[in-house]
Structure 1
Amino acid sequence: MARAENSGDEVSSEPPPRRARGGSVTLRDVARFAGVSSATVSRVMNNPEAVSEQLRARIEVAIKHLGWVPSAAARALATQRTGTIGAIFPTVANEHYASAIQSLQEAFEQQGYTLLLGCSEYETDRELRQVRKMLERGVDAFVVVGDTHRPELYPLLEQRETPVVSTFNYSAKSHVPCVGVDNYRAFFDLTTYLLELGHRSFGMLAQSADSNDRARARREGVRDALAVQGLGMNPAHFVEGFWSVNEGRRLFRQVVDSPKRPTAMICGNGSFAMGAMLEAMSCGIDVPREMTIAGFDDFELMAELPIPITTVRVPSVEIGRKAAEMIIAQLDGKQVESLEFRAELIVRASSAPPPKKR
């Protein structure tokens, strides 16, 4: 039997357990095998700096030999927390959502939390079902996207005193703490930039706004910026659809096949912008001499196309990291305030004055 260090640990006189399946091994078994108390094993797991390196190594050998995995159920019973955070995103195929998810995971891991991910596919009913399932599993808090949800979602979380942070949008009217950009302001400013170049005829490839408040805010930003100049958009030049590069190509073709094509095409997301650029090249449209194309998201490929695309950049990594900080602060009983990140306009080769102004 290994001797206990001078730490006040009681050495068990029972024989060490045989190596068994991890599910049948307990913390007490590990303590007996290492010749220490159960409290010492707990201390090594929760605060390893509090014990000597030699003692920590001995316990780690016991854990490895026995294949022990701490019981999440036991920990949850003791702390009233499961150490898991739920995150519901519309999709993981979007480059910026993927970056934010990775940032969230890294930040939560550093604080000892595990991220549990759901994908709603922009369906609010599906999102609510996923939230309920995660609540059944005892998640401690939630990260969601935007502010368009089933009306019972936020009251449900409030009733259960479950912290939540909304991401990728900023609004002073948000019902919960939020972190992101003001999508309305981002597209108002983008449209103003194109107006300053001299454009007066605009088209827009808009993402469906049925369950997407960010897409709705972007189209309103475009319309209001035009209205300030006494302008509107030809109904034939405003089209909407679900996001994808292929959809962007189809919608772009629909607009340019209409009479008197616009000189500036604003795309509501990065996939539409890349689809529009590819279709413009296929149609033989000279970008930006004949038409300016501008987009959103700033996906990596947008800067690598033969004609790099002017776009609005969203700091997705920073949004994910800050959302994690806000969640952890709430779990620690602190009050948090919403935070707005500034969307950045990245001007590239796809934008120029219209032909008559050149």
Structure 2
Amino acid sequence: MKPIYKDTRTPAAEGGRAVGIRAVAKRAGVSTATVSRSLNNPASVSPELRAKISAIIEEIGYIPDASARALSSRRTRTIGAIVPTIDNAMFAQGLQALQSFLAQRDYLLLLATNEYDLEVELQQARNLVSRGVDGLILRGDKHSEELRRLLDAQAIPFVNVGVYEPDKPYPSIGVDNARAGRRVTRHLIDLGHRRVGIVAAMQRNNDRAQARLAGILAELSEHDATPPEAWMLQVNYKLDDARQAARTLLSQPHRPTAVVCGNDVIAYGVMLEALKLGLAVPGDVSVVGFDDLEWSRHLSPSLTTIHMPTDEIWVRAGEYLVQTLAGAPTMAHREIDFSLVVRESTAPPKE
């Protein structure tokens, strides 16, 4: 027996034309220009009419043509972001917050990665600009001059996220990484540590990691605690690399009593290897990190670290671009406060 059912397929589903703006206008009893104004400039129509048009759009499943809207407004309502990698919990968290903010403002986020390679970043920026992004979010302020010239020539507003550099001409939103490095190191100094090792993140094309390391070394120098070269290592953002560095650092006959790590993931690796070597944390060696990832408070011992307000940093970056594109006044530089979170992984050194 042949089943009996109501055919609810739209013409588009059968290979016909999709629902267009004329259908919306006809149902609403207005012109297509009025529907267009309601979509692109909502304040230009009455709230009642705007609500009526929105209800019809939702009912019949009309989706505005992005290319047509871009031609009429010269805006695609698209923001691009280039980050070194998405294999980093902080980047993933920040991008999620940015995506949520932009969606609320009817903006689309396009994402690209560059693996800390300035040439790759330049090519990715060209790709995003060719796709019509209205603005661009870049990580840090290590960029090629070609990229700066490209954005200037195309009049693409951009903002450097994760750094606060008010002395530079380029907009920046983030923390003072050097000051954060000083703060976490001062915590160890105040506990009495003078034999302090460092497992930093790779410095190449990473001005955030460079600034953190500079702050750490400046604080140690002021207390006559500058570490020997053998106690200063750089690793990738990987547990295996961090564990190898800890093995090198903590297997020495004369080893540090505390280790400053470039981020929390590196700190996890150092703590795991210290325990494998039979060292107690913090009894034999104290460990500190940066970022305050979710796992940091659940470890045993829990990790002392610098809390970075990641969500706020990325949302503020999105807010800066949205306001700039709307012609609203903006602050070119915004410093976001960090905080030291003291947990169980630090203690005074043994006598």
TM-score of the superposed pair, with normalisation by structure 1 = 0.88
Q: Provide the secondary structure at the position in 1 that maps to 2:145.
A: coil
> 3-state DSSP class of the match of 1:261?
coil
| Counterpart contact for 1:236–1:258, Cα < 8 Å | no
Q: How many angstroms apart in 2 are the aligned matches of 1:224 and 1:91?
A: 29
Q: 1:45-64 to 2 correspondence within 5 Å?
A: 45-46=39-40, 47=42, 49-51=47-49, 53=51, 56-61=54-59, 63-64=60-61
CA shift, 1:152, in A, is: 1.7
SS in 2 for 1:295: strand
Contact 2:24/2:53 (8 A) holds in 1: no
Asked if 1 retains the 8 angstrom alpha-carbon contact of 2:28 and 2:52, the reply is: no
Quick check: 1:160 aligned with 2:154?
yes
Q: Specify the SS of the correspondent of 1:51.
A: helix
Cα distance in 2 for partners of 1:302, 1:270 equals 7
Aligned length: 335
Which residue is 1:88 aligned to?
A: 82
Equivalence for 1:233: 227
Aligned residues of 2:264 and 2:290 also touching (Cα < 8 A)? yes
- For 1:8-44, what per-residue CA distance to the aligned partner results, in whole angstroms no more than 9, with x for missing partners? xxxxxxxxxx823586543224434665421343245
Taking a change above 3 Å as real, the CA distance of residues 25 and 173 of structure 1, as seen in their structure-2 partners, is: same
Say if 1:352 and 1:56 are closer, same or farther in 2 by CA, change over 3 A: closer
Does 2:129 match 1:135?
yes
Distance 2:288 2:53 in 1: 61
In structure 2, the residue matched to 1:355 is: 350
Query: Hey, what's the Cα distance between the residues in 2 that align with 1:78 and 1:55?
Result: 19
CA contact (8 A) 2:38 2:50 kept: no
SS of 1:311's partner is: strand
Q: Distance in 1 between matches of 2:232 and 2:63?
A: 56
Residue 164 of structure 1 contacts residue 327 of structure 1 at CA under 8 Å; is this kept in 2?
A: yes
In the other structure, the counterpart of 2:240 is 246
User: CA contact under 8 A between 1:34 and 1:59: conserved in structure 2?
Assistant: no
Shift of 1:251: 0.8
Identity between Structure 1 and Structure 2 (%): 39
Mapped to 2, the partners of 1:223 and 1:52 lie a distance apart of 59
2:22 — aligned with what? Answer: 28
Say which of 313, 317, 321 aligns to 2:315: 321
Query: Which residue identity lines up with residue 226 of structure 1 in the other structure?
Result: L
Q: Deviations over 1:85-138 (max 9, x none)?
A: 001111222222112111111111111111111111222111111100010011
Match of 1:345 in 2: 340
Structure 2 CA distance for partners of 1:190 and 1:37, relative to 1, 3 Å: same
Match of 1:187 in 2: 181
1:259 aligned partner = 253
- 1:59 Cα deviation after fit: 4.6
Distance 1:227 1:22, change over 3 A: farther
Give the letter aligned to residue 242 of structure 1.
N
Greater Cα shift, 22-31 or 138-147: 22-31
Q: Which amino acid aligns with 2:133?
A: V
Summarize the Cα distance change of 1:117–1:187 in structure 2 as closer, same or farther, 3 Å threshold: same
Question: How much has 1:347 moved relative to structure 2?
Answer: 0.5
Q: What's the counterpart of residue 15 of structure 1? A: none
- SS where residue 196 of structure 1 aligns? helix
1:170 aligns with 2:149: no
Segment of structure 1 superposing worse, 178-187 or 239-248? 239-248
In 1: Cα distance, 2:332 partner to 2:115 partner: 28
Deviations 1:273-306 (A, max 9, x none): 0111111111110111111001111111111111
Distance 1:99 1:59, change over 3 A: closer
Give the 3-state SS of the residue equivalent to 2:173 in structure 1. strand
- Structure 2 residues not aligned, in runs of 5+: 1-9
2:262 to 265, 268, 274: 268
- 1 CA distance for matches of 2:11 and 2:323? 41
Cα distance, 1:110–1:262 mapped onto 2, change above 3 Å: same
Is the 1:31–1:59 Cα contact (8 Å) retained in structure 2?
no
State the alpha-carbon separation in 2 of the partners of residues 55 and 165 from structure 1: 36
Asked if structure 2 preserves the Cα contact closer than 8 Å seen for 1:204 and 1:266, the reply is yes
Unaligned runs of 5+ in 1: 1-17
CA change 1:57–1:227 in 2 (3 A) is: closer
Which is worse superposed, 112-121 or 331-340?
Answer: 331-340
Q: Partner amino acid for 1:57?
A: A
- The within-5 A match list for 1:264-303 is 264-303=258-297
Give the deviation of 1:267 after TM superposition: 0.3
User: Contact (CA 8 Å) 2:261, 2:290: kept in 1 or not?
Assistant: yes
Say which of 190, 199, 210 aligns to 2:204.
210
Match of residue 11 from structure 2: 19
Pairwise CA distance, 1:50 = 4.2
Counterpart amino acid of residue 349 in structure 1: E
- Whether contact under 8 Å (1:169, 1:178) holds in the other structure is yes
Offset from partner CA, 1:297-323 (integer Å, 9 cap, x none): 111111111100110110001101111
